[in-house]
Structure 1
């Protein structure tokens, strides 16, 4: 045994509260008190500790990195099992996760006046906020699936180490300060020790308390800063910190089998502060006459009596005890991965190093032998799930569950077949870069061109910087400092010379909104590159076409160019006149748009005097919107105290395309002509054209205001508040319907007609059955104030009206419930906190087009950035996500969108299964299953919803439920009932 106290490992005389050796054995981290009452974390080189020559060699750095981010004392530091992360807990209530930086160049520690140099660069990549008090201890679970932290706020927080900063659970049960946590080596339990004189064992399957042990701690007092208990590597024993036996301090041994407390480690004169098990299992012949070597574990115990004792579970007495090793209490102990090196730290600000030989503590088992021991005792455990919601030691209980798991495995294997076109990327926790994946950088190519005057021009190529955080594990630190030399390899850059002649880029002097560039090609001809010229897409007809008053091309632009050539620059007043002239030359889209059933996103200008009306004889042509979503019209409508919605201004003529494609023989156009000369008084007419040929015509007694239609129904609203409905052949389907005020909005989709009057009355008719779906329902219920505007409206193919307000909220009216229901809200905080905030429904790899998707697409854009920036705790985020998904399911149901309803229902069930919410899973399954057997009493259960069979939906949901082994009994229960019932 070797014993050493390296004096150079120090926090300038201040206490060191924690110490931990890196899994690669090249570093050791210490945490404790820093300057100005702050916290300090220092990473040290282990080579000078082990080797005296390295200690004396000035070229070997002793300190590798110092981090002072914590605002208060650091109580605990722990490396993750894979060595990628370092976790630290502090009195500032924070837990920080550190990772080595990719740019690992030396730097000077801030505030050290150049005397302290960081050889490595470590930076905080995650800050975990969940405790309301000092964080005293933390521990990584096996396989680094979870991170457990405990605090003086009486709680233990379990974090998802694969998705920081997500919280998996908050364990409440202790009634006083929690001072230590430790994990079962097979991931089944988590144990914690508190000043409330208890050790509590928690199940990882449901995060509920398994056992509370109180008897050995009834005489204990809160005299220790920490209570760091330990779990043996074979999982048989939990050894506590401070316990009492006959008024003497002990370390209590708690057996896993029945949580019995019949044994303890005795000998220390004061309270035990820390117990740390060697990570290895050892094998050795304990007695001389033994036939076989005995397997055992080794643990180190530190106490307030300033001594450390090393125990082997095969011996009744300690292997070694070192007294008066420090001047104050021992606070933490750590073992290296080999099991032969041990380090401990003390309140007096010093550390000690102990090295053992195989002859002293035995021969460690290999990792494979250790795994065989664990599998023999606990069985083969399933690999931990990457989402942190795995269940340890679950056994498949039924053949149906086994068959389901095998199918899921086969499907995953098919997706991972070699040579597939799309090979999935290697998943890496917390967004790291997969090991061995080089960053593609185009640094071996150079493009050269020539300017018009013959000079050479090298085209710059953007080289994206590599991420600052290294995705791989930190490289074991060597003994020597890194050296840097110039490369002697000749350059391999390929120079690509092009014969192009580039010219200067000029900005258009006459356009404020659009930009054009001029490029000189090899022949010297100027080629304008405008957004329209660059696009190969067919030109979409303008919403407003005025053939009678053509605009002379480029006249305004040429005039502006000539004005710029004159001496002196144009004044701001002249520029303003040019802008007004440009606005006046545009046809009036806004006034005509109000007569159309569907439109773009143009809004009415605030000042009517700035609008130049189009010619009275202009013909208006409008392209229809997608029939799957419905006719959508974006407009600005101001609501007043009397709820008087604006009425479209009566124009001379207007037309709207209601079917076919533009310019084809089957194009249907509905035309409205007012004040047609004929007879003793002016008449008005509406007619339908097909391919430019008139199909039918109808005469009106009052001026037409709004027209809308499709291949099934045509409608015209007049100035006298009447509404006329025509068949495809022009036959009036019913007498003129008189409404209580003029129409403000008119939509037609399929056989459904939607109308909103100027006084806010909403109507929806089914023309095919000649019935009213919605009768004069006032929109005043959804307009909260005078400043709220109706921004847009639409009618779905199922006859569902949707009205969107300027507040970002969208509503529909449910006749069966007699109330307005909210469908979407751009400022909804629940949606912003939801994990599925930006989820877009897809079907067969393609985006799903439905009314809910179309409605929420622009609503999400307004709050998407806020949703990405806003973060909350896991509990609040879980509740927000479930509420958001429930709202989506209900909204799709209200819109009668079957495919969207199915998508959001399956998404909702996946989330419930992932989060383990059994009560809601059962409720949904019961609703879909319905009664299994017939009964004498009539059942109100319906077998279909929106044309989808409920039991067929349940058949798709059950594999999702079976993907989590926690719910295998629930899966079996409903599968058996579903097999019994007839689908």
Structure 2
């Protein structure tokens, strides 16, 4: 054994004093040594230079690179097994993934620099997730997973390819060590709660908790670094106790018990490390493993599995406690680092351990824990089989419950299913494509009216059913699936559906089929990009019908009498939407503010000349009645007005006292949507024209605009006949901003100042951004609805549940709903993950996340959402400060919030607005600087603006 301690190997301060070194690791090829220390720097060294350190000139060639990205001491460095990545964790709570840039040329030394740079290592990812120091890191054998542990008691599992957070686990106290099973089935973490937990990689469930060897262990150690043997049979646990003697515990795989303790150390053992190589001695046929132990007594002991005593011990290996150990891949060299800043290299002869075995022997030994690490994963215990059996049983029960819901086997289940449907019948959109037949789609739309009326029985459309023979020989009727059934609606998970107010009856609108009276081949559209081929009208699917829902009183069941008449304008329009059918009774129930019922009774027969009776009921009494000529399709009301949309395209508006507020407005076609909030009224006609009026001002907010651009956006990229996007929800805010969501997940508004639709939410952010909230349930009760209410808003008789997080949060949750309903999220996620592995797309996730936050900022401004703007601004400031290459955006953000310089403030005050959405910009800047101040990469910018704010505050105080 040779003991080598190069004098130039270490971290030094400006005075040349050694800084404590907390961690080190050797690359899989054995060429590089990475170290991390108190100075906040990660250094990469040449291992051959360390082995040949007798040459005095090696001081110039041993150091390969210095990476000063952390703002605190580096507590752990680990190379990935594939050799591509280097991970470093620090007490600045940041986990950084480094990648060596082989194409870049090492920069020349600047004046005053002492570190020679021969290799360029760049920050590939900064991972934020821990709330305290990151103490240890561990990679899986195939580099597919990275686990970080820290003083916040958390164990975070990251993807080794996309570096997304997969799972967060926890201990009862600080976690100070992690190690991976070389067989690829488990990883183990050691904590100050005096336990080692073994976690299954397959489902991240705790397989075992080992506490016996650590019951009386001290918690004064900074590290508890365990190690897994290369044959997968044992775990070496640090900081164990055998009676009152410090020891390292050897834990058996499978039983997870400790029968062997390595004793002899006078102080706590902080780190154990198995040699990565299996050896075989001449006097035995069994392979053996080698383990090194070190800790607070400054003694290194090395053991193997054939002897009850250490094969060697090295006293005074350092002047202070040992912090980490690292073997070279050949198993013959061991690096030791210490809190005194020293790095010692022990070089062994092969005869001291035995003959090194090749990787094939290692794979053969590991194969007993499964069909090889590259093969299928086999169950390792009876408990696992029992767990799988229970899982299959639960899955079958879930399928049976869904089947019962579809068949309507019980009234209770039918009621549950009805309450879980947050949206109503789809509004069908038809987009005319160049050289194509008419295309119409179905989505899920929020109905704008409820229907309660005496009804004559209608003849329902009978779905196709078939008999199937079961295993027991009995026959039963198999219901048609949602995807092919003509009378089914999308099934929504009852756990994800927002709650509905049970006091309000929920009814479904039946939607007429869009007009198809067009020449053969269709009409060309003004939307560029359509390449659809001509198809016959006979191939077009018929419009689906949704069966009317049950209501409390059988006499009030809705009567769908006939489709609404088709306006001639719809036969030549580029966009056609389905409109509600004419029903005997149309009602709107207002439960927010002034409570009332507004209803219209249409003539029972199409040939009847009787007028439509419109009534306003308040406190159980009819307040006023009016009569109109055309049948009513939709109703809406607020605390300021009530409105009725008619079959002939007429729109009538009354005050709550019954006075006609305006003469009848004439639309180009019957309305498909009618929405109102405060004094604003919105309509979407059957040909896709959007209008918004401010009734208080008696004027339209903007000229009528077509929905064709957003309805065609999802279908114009395909070269075959496809269904266009459908409107799944439409509403208006208390600011008069119309909001529309589509079946492709897009959420849009129309901005009257930009004269354009603006896309606020889309499925791309859901799969590419780190800041997308994948939950579909509001974060808390209460909040704001689209209509500015903070409670349930029973518009059109349908209870609308208030959503938290503001309008933008509601739009993103709606996008989540559509992704889950259509199953597009998994496909898009797979595309993004594949892109991340290709050259040139390494920064995709970072760029997309920052772009998503910028989109949120712009959207919050358009929606005038103060809370959402502030939240997005803080996240944005923190992220651009943490990433390399975004210094210009940091400065731009600070300058925009700071405004003109103090000395020019008087002259420039007239052109600068000091507030945004009612928030003072300079107050926001001060908060942003707090978020960005911890990142030293942008300190020159942040300190500059902090000084300006301080100077301004001192001037104001004078």
Q: When the two structures are superposed, what TM-score results if normalisation uses the length of structure 1?
A: 0.48
Q: When the two structures are superposed, what TM-score results if normalisation uses the length of structure 2?
A: 0.49
